[in-house]
Amino acid sequence: MKNNQDPQAMLLGVGLDNSDGHKRITRGDNFYLAGGSEETHERMTETVIKFNEKLARKGKDLRELSREEFTDMMREAQDK
């Protein structure tokens, strides 16, 4: 059982290129995405989904990643 005092970790994505006035918000395991154009929001969503898949394959929680592991995994997730 988790202790409520445990620090939490979450990926936060904020898109700032929205010009159509549509409010885009997507939440999921380990992430919260807000804003952006349709293209930007879709790209952020694809990236965090790929990141979470890599995290699951490693069998780790987001809080367990070293800075280097996080950076490497995020770069891999962003590659097209």
What band does 79 get if pLDDT is binned at 50, 70 and 90?
Answer: confident
What is the pTM (predicted TM-score) of this model? Answer: 0.84
Higher pLDDT, 5 or 52: 52
Q: Write down the H helix ranges in 4-66.
A: 38-58
Q: What would the pLDDT profile of 2-26 be if each residue is shown by its tens digit?
A: 555 666 899 999 999 999 999 999 9
The three-class DSSP label of residue 33 is strand
- Between CA 32 and CA 52 the distance in angstroms is 13
Continuous segment of H or E residues that includes residue 11: strand 11-15
What pLDDT score was predicted for residue 1? 44
